[in-house]
Amino acid sequence: MSDHDISPEITARFAAIVGERYALTAPDDIAPFVHERRGFFVGRTPLVLKPGSVEEVSRIMRLATETRTPIVPQSGNTGLVGGQIPDQSGREVVLSLVRLDRIREVDVLSNTITAEAGVILQNLHDAADGADRLFPLSLASKGSCRIGGNLSSNAGGTDVLAYGNARELCLGVEVVMPNGEIFDDLRKLKKDNTGYDLKNLFVGAEGTLGIITAAVLKLVPKPKGREVAWVGLESPAAALRLFGRALDKAGSGLTAFELMRAITLDFVLRHIPGSVAPLAGSYPWYVLMEISSGRSAEDARTLIEDILGEAFEAGIVGDAAIAESLAQAKAFWSLREDMSDAQKPEGGSIKHDISVPVASIPAFIEQAMAAVERTVPGARPVCFGHMGDGNLHFNVSQPVGASREAYMARYHDMNAAVHAVVRALSGSISAEHGIGQLKRDELLETAPPVAIDLMRRVKKAFDPLGIMNPGKVI
């Protein structure tokens, strides 16, 4: 037999580690672990293991090493690039971290929370809130994504502008290596220069170097005041000017700056029941801007009013509405968060998760929209995202009335056209979603050979047998 078949004997040995109850072999039990919600990736596996402790994860990896069994770690299964889905061989075992869901400690004075990989992001938010703190990593999938996956994909989201991405919010990690050794680096230190930065190798590695089983995460003081404004503008250039002024005045009090093309709001108003346009008039571009204050609600209000007032006088802003209640603020945010769903009824959507230097955002949008029109005339750029981070979700909906199949067949061409603009502007083709299976080939084709070579050396050094989430990233 090949060294990759999973024999009944080996299956039984894996099952014995976690117990029969947590070793899934029935197709119906396995199904939820081999499909991801957008349906882009479907894998096959004969076995899903749900260990209940770090020690069990370690024993699984020791056995995987002994038997050369490829392991695919998975936490919330919300990833968008297929990093958490096994291949079609039926030879890969899925290791689910959902049972490692303990919050081990909240340290209010040190502003840290120590959580296991299977903790759902929303539960981290609640635990922080209970300690009068904020855990600022926030994504649309926060109700189902889990921190292990957030760290392995270095998740971004809407609050990166002020608080950083998952990497910057992580102080220490606990990792089970492919050989089963446990790397315990669960430290709460803001400063530690004792050797190489191993933590940041595991964060963002999508489970290809080891399995993050727990992490120490930063907490921040809960803002006393938070104000949200919906702003109408003429162009991305105007949005960039507004961003510069807001950042200058508010510093890290500027906690969100989201740019949206008019069509994205139109889609939401058309397809999401109960959606209401925040402004009377309509504008080509909109910005959702959030200002937070550690001092008071009044302070946040004064600051956002000053910023918008001066921008209005400078002719940067066409119109703006500041949310008058928490409910309205939530409604503004919903418009932004519903944008992914609102594209579905409009037919096929070809997606891009890109970043460029912030100053290049207007140039990127202009050039990318032209590239789209050249590639598929009539295709509709649905452009929105985290402008303050230089990160846009530059999705492209099919032309009205076109054939979905014919349009989606152009996926690769459209990616190539848009990513060419990204590269010309020294940007990234994966700003926050990662590489996984989806972008692996393109990474290998387009990244500098020296970078690929160094990544391969790291992979080989940490996972010499190649059993750790093979076929992902590199």
Residue list 139-168, contact with its own copies (CB under 8 A) = 153-154, 156, 160, 162, 165, 167-168
Closer by beta carbon to its own copies, 51 or else 390:
390
Binding mask 22-51 for its own copies (x = CB under 8 A): ------------------------------
Q: Where are the alpha helices (DSSP H) in 294-360?
A: 297-313, 326-337, 339-343
Query: Which residues, numbered 56-75, are part of the site for its own copies (CB under 8 A)?
Result: none
Nearer of residues 58 and 397 to its own copies, judged by Cβ: 58
Sheet holding 170-176, edge to edge: 103-107, 112-116, 211-218, 170-176, 182-185
Q: How far is the CB of 55 from its own copies (least distance, A)?
A: 15
Is residue 55 at the binding interface for its own copies, with CB under 8 A as the rule?
no
Q: Which of residues 261-280 bind its own copies (CB under 8 A)?
A: none
Amino acid occupying residue 82: G
CA distance 104 to 215: 10
Q: In the numeric block, which tokens belong to residue 430?
A: 């994966």
Closest CA relative to residue 229, chosen from 118, 145, 307, 136: 307
State the angle between helix axes of 361-375 and 411-424 in degrees (0 to 180), rounded to the nearest 10.
150
Show the site string, 186-215: x = touches its own copies by CB under 8 A, - = not: -xxxxxxxxxxxx-xx-xxx---x------
d(CA 395, CA 352): 6
Residue 32 or 221: the one with the smaller Cβ distance to its own copies is 221
Of 92, 81, 165, 194, the C-alpha closest to 386 is: 165
Residues that bind its own copies (rule: CB under 8 A) add up to a total of 91
Q: Given candidates 112, 123, 158, 349, which one binds its own copies under the rule CB under 8 A?
A: 112
Site for its own copies in 298-327 (CB under 8 A): 303
Q: Is the Cβ of residue 307 or residue 342 nearer to its own copies in the bound state?
A: 307
Nearest Cα neighbor of 425 from 359, 345, 370 is 359
Q: Which stretch binds its own copies (CB under 8 A): 85-93, 122-130, 329-337, 431-439?
A: 431-439
* Position 378 contacts its own copies (CB under 8 A): no
| CA–CA dist 355, 343 (Å, integer) | 21
- For residue 17, state whether it binds its own copies (rule: CB under 8 A): no
What token pair was written down for 22?
């947590």
Decide: residue 8, CB within 10 A, 0-12 exposed, 13-18 middle, 19+ buried: exposed
Residues 334-363 that bind its own copies (CB under 8 A): 355-360
Please report how close the Cβ of residue 179 comes to its own copies at its closest, in angstroms.
Answer: 10
CB of 26 to its own copies, least distance (A): 35
